[in-house]
């Protein structure tokens, strides 16, 4: 078995677990390729020198491994997706902090999860992405989002106006601070925080959620994911921010942004006993009621 390991920094609460992880991989003779900046962090802060077969620093360097371990939180998981891209390599999310929705293997569950993965007792869930089509590839060479695309006003000035079209038919003009276009995976992230609905990960839809809309009659809307959404933004400032997950760029007004479902998916490794509904209850306190 060959794996890649991607991560950033983490607190000392995970140091012992990190040693445990690499000891297990070494005992099982698993070949490891590691993200070079993360390896440097392990050397300097964790005082750990893992035995590795090689390094990678960019998506083109990532070898064709059996799976990639993302060590960190959900932000680290989203960054790992930009390395995996359309390779089909399954991603394992190991949570080194407190709360992780995609990085859902906690440090307490790590020993059991490693044994299950090494023995093949796990599920692979396909997650849909959004593709942004824009002039000159605004967000770099990977214009895809696992959670959401968001457009915002650039500063604290007045609201912006977002003209939205579905399959080239006019939908609405949103007078708001911004707009979030979310996947089902992202429904429990930014979109949820501004009043968007929770969607099951296997739902085939896209959520359009305004941020602080001026009109109270405007509400989140779920549309089929085979539709293309086109946005045109205007405002007094003349510029606005567009972001894909954690990557953003400043965009001139009246720039056309076209959003559609990506042609590929991200494979996410889940434990066999993992349940979306249990995750909602345990991590989002969904439906919390002392009567339950």
Q: Is the pLDDT at 98 greater than 90, yes or no?
A: no
Dig out the tokens for 199 from the structure: 């969607």
The confidence score (pLDDT) of residue 115 equals 95
Instruction: State pLDDT tens for residues 270-285.
Output: 988 888 888 888 878 8
pLDDT of residue 291 exceeding 90: no
- pLDDT at site 281: 85
Of 114, 119, 134, 242, which is closest to residue 178 (Cα–Cα)?
242
CB 80 within 8 A of CB 70: yes
pLDDT confidence of residue 101: 82
Q: Where are the alpha helices (DSSP H) in the chain?
A: 15-27, 36-41, 74-84, 110-118, 190-193, 276-283
Q: Which residue has the tokens 């359009």?
A: 208
Give SS3 for 114. helix
Phi-psi region of 82 (alpha: psi -120 to 50; beta: other; left: phi over 0): alpha
Mean pLDDT, rounded, of the chain? 93
Contact assessment for residue 71 and residue 15, using Cβ atoms and an 8 Å cutoff: no
Reported as a single tens digit per residue, the pLDDT across 155-203 is 766 889 999 999 999 999 999 999 999 999 999 999 999 999 999 988 9
- pLDDT higher than threshold 90 for residue 150: yes
Domains belonging to the chain, first-starting first, are 2-120 (3.40.50.10330), 130-263 (2.60.200.30)
Residue 104 pLDDT: 85
Annotated catalytic sites, by residue?
74
C-beta neighbour count of 251 within 10 angstroms: 19
Cβ distance 89 to 4 under 8 Å? Answer: yes
Euclidean distance between CA atoms 156 and 237, whole angstroms = 10
Burial call 73-88: b when 16+ CB within 10 Å, e when fewer: bbbbbbbbbbbbbeee
User: Averaged over 206-213, what is the pLDDT?
Assistant: 96
Give dist(CA 173, CA 175) in Å, integer. 6
- Read off the pLDDT band of 97 (50, 70, 90): confident
SS3 15: helix
Are 144 and 244 within 8 A, CB to CB? yes
pLDDT of 99 higher than 80? no
Residue 137: the pLDDT is 85
Q: What mean pLDDT is predicted for residues 43-47?
A: 95
- Interval 220-272: pLDDT, tens: 999 999 999 999 999 887 889 999 998 999 998 888 999 999 999 999 999 88
**For residues 130 and 99, is the Cβ–Cβ distance under 8 A?**
no
| pLDDT confidence of residue 230 | 98
pLDDT band at 111 (very low <50, low <70, confident <90, very high): very high
């Amino acid at each position: 078995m060959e794996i890649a390991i991607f991560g950033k920094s983490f607190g000392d609460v995970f140091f012992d677990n990190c040693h445990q992880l690499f000891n297990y991989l070494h005992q099982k003779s698993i070949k490891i390729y590691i993200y070079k900046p993360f390896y440097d962090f392990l050397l300097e802060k964790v005082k750990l020198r893992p035995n590795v077969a090689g390094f990678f620093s960019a998506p083109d360097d990532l070898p064709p491994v059996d799976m990639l371990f993302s060590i960190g939180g959900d932000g680290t998981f989203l960054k790992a997706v930009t390395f995996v891209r359309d390779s089909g390599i399954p991603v394992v999310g190991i949570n080194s902090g407190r709360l992780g929705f995609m990085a859902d293997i906690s440090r307490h569950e790590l020993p059991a999860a490693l044994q299950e993965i090494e023995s093949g007792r796990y599920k692979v869930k396909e997650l849909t992405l959004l593709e942004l089509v824009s002039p000159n590839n605004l967000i770099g060479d990977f214009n895809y989002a696992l959670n959401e695309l968001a457009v915002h006003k650039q500063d604290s000035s007045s609201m912006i106006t977002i003209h939205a079209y579905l399959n080239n038919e006019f939908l609405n003009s949103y007078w708001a601070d911004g707009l979030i276009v979310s996947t089902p995976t992202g429904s429990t992230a930014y979109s949820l925080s501004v009043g968007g609905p929770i969607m099951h990960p296997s739902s085939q839809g896209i959520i359009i959620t305004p941020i602080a809309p001026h009109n109270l009659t405007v509400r989140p809307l779920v549309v089929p994911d085979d539709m293309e959404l086109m946005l045109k933004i205007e405002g007094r400032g003349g510029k606005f921010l567009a972001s894909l997950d954690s990557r953003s760029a400043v965009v001139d007004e009246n720039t056309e942004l076209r959003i559609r479902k990506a042609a590929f998916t991200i494979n996410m490794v889940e434990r066999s006993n993992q349940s979306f509904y249990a995750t909602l209850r345990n991590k989002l306190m969904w439906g919390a009621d002392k009567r339950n």
